[in-house]
Structures are given as C-alpha cells and as structure tokens.
Chains A and B, each alone.
Chain A
Amino acid sequence: MIRKATSFVFRYARREGAELRHQPLKVLKEKGKGFGIFCLHVVNVGCAVHLCTQYVGRISFMEGPSMFPTLADKGEIVVEDRLTPRLFPDRIERGDLVILKSPIMPERIICKRVLGLPGDIICVDPTGEKAPSTEHIVIPKGHLWISGDNAPYSRDSRLYGPVSMSLIQSKLIMRIWPPTIFSNPLTYLD
C-alpha cells in the first residue's frame, strides 16, 4: 500500500518535472510571478498578525518569581490587553496587573501590580528593608507605584521609585492556563 502511494508520488513528481521542462519560458515566468505574489500575501498576513499582537491584544507566557501567589513561576498563559492602556492611560486602577518595560533594563519586560496612582501618598517600604519604614512620598503626575506580589523576590518601585505611565505596555485581562474552573476554590493561609 505504502509502496503504491510512494510510487504514485514519484510518478506525479516526474510528470511535473517533465511538464516544467517542456514549458515555454513565458509560462515559467508567469508561474514565478504568481509565486512571488503568493509570498507577498504571506508576508502581508504575517505583518497584520504582528500588528494585532502588538497593538490590540495577545496571548503570552509568563515566567518569573516576582508575582508568585498570583502567577506561578512558569507555565502560566495569560491574555493581554494592549489597546486600552495606550488609548486611555487614566483608566488604570489600583490593583491592576500591568506589563511594562523595566525602567532599569530597557530590553526587559516585567509584570507587576499597580499600588498607587498619581497624587497618592505611599510608604516606600513598610518592612523597612529597602528604605526606612517612615519614608513616605507623593507619586508625581503621570507616574505609578508598582510592586510585585512576592516582595522578597521582586525588584519594583521600592528600589527605583515611581515609574512613568509611558512605560506601560499592556494590562492583564485573564489567565487561560492553568484553568481555574476545576481548581479548588478554597485557599489555605498559614
């Protein structure tokens, strides 16, 4: 059976090759042109998909320990909304999870939780580890205070102060993996 099928493929390929050899140059050129246009279509669709994932929304993998109880170290898949934070930066609220470019490493993308909005007075570090626990600052205009959920393993506003809203790339809408429907709704605190 397999032999039959392969022999058919070979015969077909040979016939195609023969056809190509006997075709006049004009037809060959036309075929090449058609292939070129097809490639252009493929590139075009690729560009469209890329623009969508850059400016509208996308599904992405998360990793890193800084958001630990909320998002695990690895194997998390989330949906990002990249449109509304760009269009309406004022709609970001306290408690949102945002993805932004790191202010201290330009090539790095980080995910943190928004704690303070412009005009809020915030305690830099209540535990007193990275700054004296009495130090309070007012968040300036157009800036946010961000913080990781897993404080000891997170480098966030405690280290580099309020971050500019212009760095924000997207907002997390939902997590799609691991699915939360079948998981135990109880959480254990100790």
Chain B
Amino acid sequence: MLGNLFSKFRSHSNRPLFFRKWIYWSPIPLTSLTYFYEVKQISGQSMKPTLNPDSSAWNDICLFDRYSVLLHSERDYNREDIVTLRSPDDPRRILIKRIVALEGDTVKTRTPYPEPEVKIPQGHVWVEGDESFRTDDSNLFGPVPAALIQSKLVRILWPPDRFGPISEPMIPSHRSGPAYRHAMDAIERKKTRQARVKVGRPYGVDANTY
C-alpha cells in the first residue's frame, strides 16, 4: 500500500520532464506560426460591419496568412484585402485594416487628412477601416509603409454562422429583412471605396538603390 502511494508521488516527478519536452519541441510550432498561418482574436471596432458586427455576441476569431506577405517573393496583397499591420505610431500595437490603394494610385481622402487628394508614394499603401467614423486609419496618419504589413486575413473561424472566407457582397434573393439591408450597405460601401481610388502604375525599381 505504501508502495502504491509512493508510485503516485513518483508519477508526479515526471511532470518537469513533460514540460521540458514541451519546451524542447516548441520551436517547430513557433516557427510555423510566424511564417505560415496564425489564429487571432479581433478586438476593437475598426472593421465593424465586416468583422465584429453588432449582431454577433462574440469577438471574431480569424485565420491569418503570413506566408504570402513575409516569404512570398512578390508580396502578395492587393486592394480590398484585409491585413494586419503594426501601427506606424506605436510599434507595440497591431491594427487590422483594409487596403484601399497601392503605390502609384491616387486617393480622394477623408476629413482629418489635410489634402483632398494623395498620390501614394513608392512602397506605401493606403489603409482604411470599413466605417470611417470608427477608426484611426490612413486619413489620420497618411500612407503607411508596406513593410509594416504583417499578415493577410484568410477566413473567419468563429462565430460558426459566418465561418469561411470573406465573400464579395451579393444581393440576397429575399429582398427584405436585415440581411438584405446589410448586403446592400456593404455593396454601397465597396462602390464608394472604389470610386475614391484612381488606379495608377507602380513605381519602377531603379537599379542603383542604396
């Protein structure tokens, strides 16, 4: 009986070994998190009607793709993509915004920005939240360097009723009710967003860069 009791204690002594094993094997998952895919919960309202809408009781949990931004030889993001980026003002904050314009494009700006139109300089992007009154975006701090972009949103994982990639807004067949109104609102926002951008040519890379 005493032996039984001691064996129980002995099984506890395995615990540090277990943790040591965890720590020893942690580099592979950590590396894959930093270079391939990561899962993040979205807090805050900056992408409100698309992510974290008023109708859901949960904060959205999303899957982000880091490979196409960090390792892909041509940084693979485009207009209308939702990306996470480090805040240009504060290195410790991560923002989630939608890319509105790429380098070379001309954008009509919104209120806090001093000039009515901006041509996006080389290597920069123009990012905005989905509803202008909720976010601090490029209208406040201007075009942001593309090197600040961390990852690209791939799909929503939680809540389950909106599981899947963020789809193009479509007119639902049933022409009434909140779903129809939300879809029409999304279409309207997309139209105004695209109307403000004049697509331009990207800057050429000059050979003697130093």
Decide if A142 touches B121 in the complex (CB within 8 Å): no
Contact stretch, chosen from B87-95, B104-112, B129-137, B153-161: B87-95
- On chain A, the residues within 8 Å of B25 by CB distance are 44
Question: What residue of chain A has the Cβ atom nearest to residue B141's Cβ?
Answer: A140
B145 within 8 A of A: yes
Number of interface residues of B (CB under 8 A): 28
Decide if B30 touches A106 in the complex (CB within 8 Å): no
- List residues of A (133-166) whose CB comes within 8 Å of B's CBs: 140-143, 153-155, 160, 163-166
Given contacts A104-B123, A105-B122, contact A44 B27 (CB under 8 A): yes
Decide if B91 touches A165 in the complex (CB within 8 Å): yes
A95 to B24, CA, bound (A): 39
- On chain A, the residues within 8 Å of B91 by CB distance are 86, 89, 142, 164-166, 168
Number of interface residues of A (CB under 8 A): 36
Decide if B146 touches A64 in the complex (CB within 8 Å): no
Decide if B209 touches A108 in the complex (CB within 8 Å): yes
- List residues of A (43-61) whose CB comes within 8 Å of B's CBs: 43-45, 47-48, 50-51, 54
Decide if B88 touches A164 in the complex (CB within 8 Å): yes
A19 within 8 A of B: no
A101 to B88, CA, bound (A): 13
- On chain B, the residues within 8 Å of A166 by CB distance are 86-88, 90-91, 148
B147 within 8 A of A: yes
- List residues of A (88-142) whose CB comes within 8 Å of B's CBs: 89, 101-108, 140-142
The 6 residue pairs across chains A and B that have the minimum distance between CB atoms: A101-B147, A47-B27, A142-B89, A166-B86, A164-B88, A103-B145
